[in-house]
Amino acid sequence: MSDESGFQGRQIVAPDEFTSESVADLLVKIFSAPEPPLPPPTADTIFRCSYMPRFCARREAIAGQEGISQEKLVIDDESSRDPDMDLADIRFAGMVGTALHSVLQNNVLHDLLLGRWECVTCGAVHQNDEGVKFGVFIPKPDACGRQSGPRGAEMPCEGRRFVFAETRFRDAEFGIEGQPDGALLLTRRDGSKAILEIKGLTHWSLTTQRRDGRLKWEYEIQGNLYLHLSGLDWLAGLLVARNMEKFKLSSKDRALEVMVVRRNESLLKKVRGQIATFRNAMIHGTLPTRDCLTDSCDKARRCPLVKRCFELPDD
Ligand code: SF4
Ligand SMILES: [Zn+2]
């Protein structure tokens, strides 16, 4: 195969011979293509909800003060979970997760889902313009009818297909932002609605989760941040097995599990406090104290800056 295959500028150059090896090699190149690095964290950084379970005020402050990119922190952290995964594997797994979300939002749950909806025909986004937070979400429209096309009122859009449009909620003072996967129209007896969070898990991790009977603390933190951003009081975590060969809906070993997260004010206060500690350290050029007692505790073993953290003074 040609050594020239892969990315050249923004063009993808196909291999001379199409064999499974050359195509796999090309895909690895595509999935490892460089992206502009995320800058090091600063006192003004708004963190993604999904990042917060791994947040450490000291780690972010070291990265911010020593110019280490945020992306490097995430990639190193991800790969430390499975040393056989390289950048291409991590990105590919992420895209499979995105595809799973899209199918559930647009082909399975669409009639039960509140969200913002983009018309496939004209691109108009339908939402409740008066709404704030969760209030912008609406059920999927039946027809578009927008008069935004070239012929205006004379020929309103006849589109009837819509896709779920991600919505970013942000609380700059808290320092977080996130894109919930929608809200469910399934209401409880008291009329409250649930924000929806979809998680694609390996069959093994879904089974472990089911055995433990409660959401992992990572999801509990992320879920509570979505509750804070959406203003709702409960979250339905839809856990779905990613390994389709094990897909069964109705057996004991089913591929779906629903877990509920309720608002936990003390957890939210703790996370808000961690971000405030980091910001304070960045403003004053100091370092937060070390959380990890040894460099081999669970948290330290997953921390890409563990070596630097233990070299620096802890005062
Ligand atoms: S080793 Fe522990 S305390 Fe130090 S930066 Fe990493 S996670 Fe934070
Ligand atoms: Zn339309």
The finding on whether 58 has its CB within 6 A of some atom of ligand 1 is yes
The finding on whether 290 has its CB within 6 A of some atom of ligand 1 is yes
Taking only the tens place, the pLDDT of each residue in 258-315 is 888 889 999 999 999 999 999 999 999 999 999 999 999 988 988 889 999 999 998 7
Contact 1, 17 (CB under 8 A): yes
**pLDDT band at residue 1 under the 50/70/90 scheme:** very low
Radius of gyration of the chain (CA): 22
Determine which of 77-86, 109-118, 140-149, 306-315 has the lowest per-residue pLDDT on average. Answer: 77-86
The finding on whether 56 has its CB within 6 A of some atom of ligand 1 is yes
**pLDDT band at residue 61 under the 50/70/90 scheme:** very high
Residue with CA closest to ligand 1 atom 4? 309
Determine which of 32-36, 100-104, 107-111, 183-187 has the lowest per-residue pLDDT on average. Answer: 183-187
Give the three-class secondary structure for 232.
Answer: coil
> Residue 298: beta bridge partners?
none
Q: CB 290: neighbour CB atoms within 10 A?
A: 17
The finding on whether 299 has its CB within 6 A of some atom of ligand 1 is yes
Higher pLDDT pick, 123 / 33: 123
Determine which of 168-172, 252-256, 305-309 has the lowest per-residue pLDDT on average. Answer: 252-256
Query: What CA–CA distance (Å, rounded) separates 26 from 21?
Result: 9
CA 309 to ligand 1: nearest atom:
4
Ligand 1 pocket test, pick from 65, 305, 312, 315 with the greatest ligand atom count within 8 Å of Cβ, gives 305
Phi, psi of 184 (to 5 degrees): -95, 135
The pLDDT value given to residue 224: 95
Give the list of residues 6+ apart from residue 279 with CB closer than 8 angstroms, or none: 43, 175
The finding on whether 303 has its CB within 6 A of some atom of ligand 1 is yes
Residue with CA closest to ligand 1 atom 5? 59
Residue type at position 79: S
The finding on whether 292 has its CB within 6 A of some atom of ligand 1 is yes
Give the three-class secondary structure for 113.
Answer: strand
The finding on whether 309 has its CB within 6 A of some atom of ligand 1 is yes
Contact 266, 291 (CB under 8 A): no
The finding on whether 241 has its CB within 6 A of some atom of ligand 1 is no
Query: Which DSSP string do the residues of 124-143 spell out, in sequence order?
Result: PEE--TT--GGGG-EEPPS-
- Ligand index nearest the alpha carbon of residue 163: 2
- Ligand index nearest the alpha carbon of residue 149: 2
Average pLDDT over residues 184-207: 78
Residue 14, Cα to own-chain centre: how many angstroms?
Answer: 31
**pLDDT band at residue 247 under the 50/70/90 scheme:** low
Give the list of residues 6+ apart from residue 221 with CB closer than 8 angstroms, or none: 52, 53, 267, 271
The pLDDT value given to residue 24: 84
> Is the pLDDT assigned to residue 149 strictly greater than 70?
no
- Ligand index nearest the alpha carbon of residue 146: 2
CA 290 to ligand 1: nearest atom:
3
Q: What distances in angstroms separate CA 254 from CA 55, 80, 250, one per listed residue?
A: 33, 29, 6
Query: What CA–CA distance (Å, rounded) separates 102 from 83?
Result: 29
The pLDDT value given to residue 258: 83
| Residue written as token pair 């090091």 | 40
- Ligand index nearest the alpha carbon of residue 159: 2
**pLDDT band at residue 2 under the 50/70/90 scheme:** very low
Give residue 165 CA to ligand 1 midpoint distance, Å.
36
Q: What is the mean pLDDT of the chain?
A: 85
Give residue 127 CA to ligand 2 midpoint distance, Å.
13
The finding on whether 113 has its CB within 6 A of some atom of ligand 1 is no
Average pLDDT over residues 117-126: 94
Ligand 1 pocket test, pick from 55, 56, 72, 302 with the greatest ligand atom count within 8 Å of Cβ, gives 56
Determine which of 71-80, 106-115, 254-263 has the lowest per-residue pLDDT on average. Answer: 71-80
The finding on whether 274 has its CB within 6 A of some atom of ligand 1 is no
> Residue 11: beta bridge partners?
8
Contact 133, 178 (CB under 8 A): no
- State which H helix or E strand residue 70 sits in: helix 70-81
The pLDDT value given to residue 79: 45
Give the three-class secondary structure for 64.
Answer: helix
Domains recognised in the chain with CATH numbers: 37-114+166-315 (3.90.320.10)
Query: What CA–CA distance (Å, rounded) separates 20 from 50?
Result: 35
